[in-house]
Amino acid sequence: MLRRSFLSAATGALTARAAATRPPNFVVLFADDMGYGDLSCYGHPTIRTPNLDRMAEEGMRFTSFYAAASVCTPSRVGLLTGRYPVRAGQPNNTGPDTVGGLPLNETLLPQILKPRGYRTMAIGKWHLGYKPQEYLPTSRGFDHYLGLPYSNDMIPPFVKTNQPLEMYRDKTAVETIGDQSNLTERYTDEAKRFIRESGDDPFFLYLPYAMPHLPISAGERFRGRSRAGLYGDVIEAIDWSAGEILATIKDRGLDGNTMVIFASDNGPWHDLPDRMLAKGNQPWHTGSKNLLRGAKGTTWEGGPRVPGIFRWPGHVAPRQVSAEMASTLDLVPTLARAAGATLPNDRTYDGFDLMPLLRGERASSPRNEFFYFLGKRLEGVREGSWKLRFARDSASRQLEPQLFDLDMDPAERYDRYSENRETGDRLLVRLRAFAQELRADIAQ
């Protein structure tokens, strides 16, 4: 400890007094299309993720952690607004030719933190609108931005568009991106610089990686390194990135004053559309979800259920694994409360403050419900261990409502509706009422 203190002093870390009175720092590392089963600590047999495994060891790892949606844009909407994407007015993906994006009357997490003196930066994939410029991160609470304004596949031949894929620095397109193999390293360098230059101000760093969204690629030092092919290399690069960022926080003596969160925006992209099978993309360039059913773009568990890791030494006890429900929707209220910031009181939030659970002050999650949306359609609700799913199949045929006990049957293999009719009926009523409240579509 003594040695650490000396090191901290030498690297210009905060005095104890300043650290005690200022709000905590927040770092959100957000992978794209990484599956529930892609990390060693979530059971992957060959991909090695020692940094994220250690991060989980040093904090709390959730096994029922949900992204707000099972595709890219609405998932980010939920994380940054604390509201279901339908409620926030952006339930579908945006693209290179989209004008507008997440409605400008939505208040984003960095805007909520700003009054508490935060330096804020977004690095990576934005995907909440970029035309006109009012939709870019620097108009929405982030002091600075470096990254791609939408998905890395939104270029020919995968997507028909005349827009070049460009790297933005704040509000300016600075470079057309061809080779994507160094994106993870580039974002990591920028993140380290941002953390090093943060001085005594609290900071919020939001780092939505481009990877492992197709088309995947990895820097030279990662290629061929994993036993799981190129996809494994890409995940191991993200693990390296997390390790670099955690080391930078530690070097600055900010470990005890920084909450770091790792999650993914949705599950793996299985059953690729034909348009994606070009330019070297392979069907197996995608992740895994262990025994969960479904994948990206579905309301089966493999769609929205993702890794969720929280680390904040001194506040979140190490070596915790929680089967309680939590969601990226909970980040806005959790981080706002931890920062001493105030949420706007003119709107409804769909998140809960997780700190009492993270601190061990309560054993159960404040979240007892999660709703599963596909675009504007509400297809399911989970309450406790029960999940009601009322959806259409891939051929758009209406299915009968089904009821799964996720604690016993996380693979959603056994429909238990007929023997638990009271629970099923009650959840169906709840589903309909919530759809009505949000003016969402619902299966009829």
DSSP code of 15?
Answer: P
CB 29 within 8 A of CB 216: no
Q: Which is nearer to Mg ion, 112 or 207 (CB)?
A: 207
Contact 40, 50 (CB under 8 A): yes
Task: List 327's β-bridge partners, or say none.
Answer: 66
Half-sphere exposure of 134 (CA within 13 A, CB side): 9
CB-wise, 151 or 365, nearer to Mg ion?
Answer: 151
Residue 221 burial (CB count, 10 A): 11
Pairing of strands 320-327, 60-66: parallel
Catalytic residue, chosen from 41, 44, 127, 213, is 127
Question: Is 315 in the active site?
Answer: no
Minimum distance, C-beta of residue 195 to Mg ion, in the bound complex (Å): 25
Give kind and range of the element (H or E) at residue 185: helix 183-196
Q: Determine how β-strand 60-66 pairs with β-strand 203-208.
A: unpaired
The DSSP bridge partners found for residue 259 are 26
**Smallest separation (angstroms) from Mg ion to the CB of 230:** 18
Give the per-residue contact string, 49-78, with Mg ion (x = CB under 5 A; - = no): -----------------------x------
User: What is the helix, strand, coil percentage profile of the chain, to 5?
Assistant: 30, 20, 50
**What is the size of the binding site for Mg ion (CB under 5 A)?**
5
CB of 20 to Mg ion, least distance (A): 38
Instruction: Determine phi and psi for 364, rounding to 5 degrees.
Output: -105, 155
Query: How far apart are CB 123 and Mg ion at their closest, in Å?
Result: 16
Binding marks (x or -) toward Mg ion, 25..54, rule CB under 5 A? -------xx---------------------
Question: For residues 8 and 299, which CB has a smaller minimum distance to Mg ion in the complex?
Answer: 299
Which residue carries 């600055």 as its tokens?
252
Closest-by-Cβ residue to Mg ion is 72
Is 330 a residue that touches Mg ion (CB under 5 A)? no
Using CA atoms in the order 113, 119, 121, 127, what is the torsion angle rounded to 10 degrees? 20
Smallest separation, CB 249 to Mg ion (Å): 26
Which lies closer to Mg ion via its Cβ, residue 106 or residue 265? 265
376: which residues sit within 8 A by CB, 6+ positions away? 86, 91, 92, 440, 441
32/233 with CB nearer Mg ion: 32
Q: Output 14 or 165, the one with its CB closest to Mg ion.
A: 165
Subset of 249-278 contacting Mg ion (CB under 5 A): 265-266
Shortest spacing between CB 228 and Mg ion, in angstroms: 19
On the question of a cis peptide bond just before residue 50, with omega within 30 degrees of 0, the verdict is no
Between CA 390 and CA 434 the distance in angstroms is 13
Please indicate whether residue 127 is annotated as part of the active site: yes
Measured between alpha carbons, how far is 270 from 22 in angstroms, rounded to an integer? Answer: 44
Q: Restricting to residues 177-216, name those near Mg ion by CB under 5 A.
A: none
Residues that bind Mg ion in the complex, under the rule CB under 5 A: 32-33, 72, 265-266
Active site residues: 72, 127
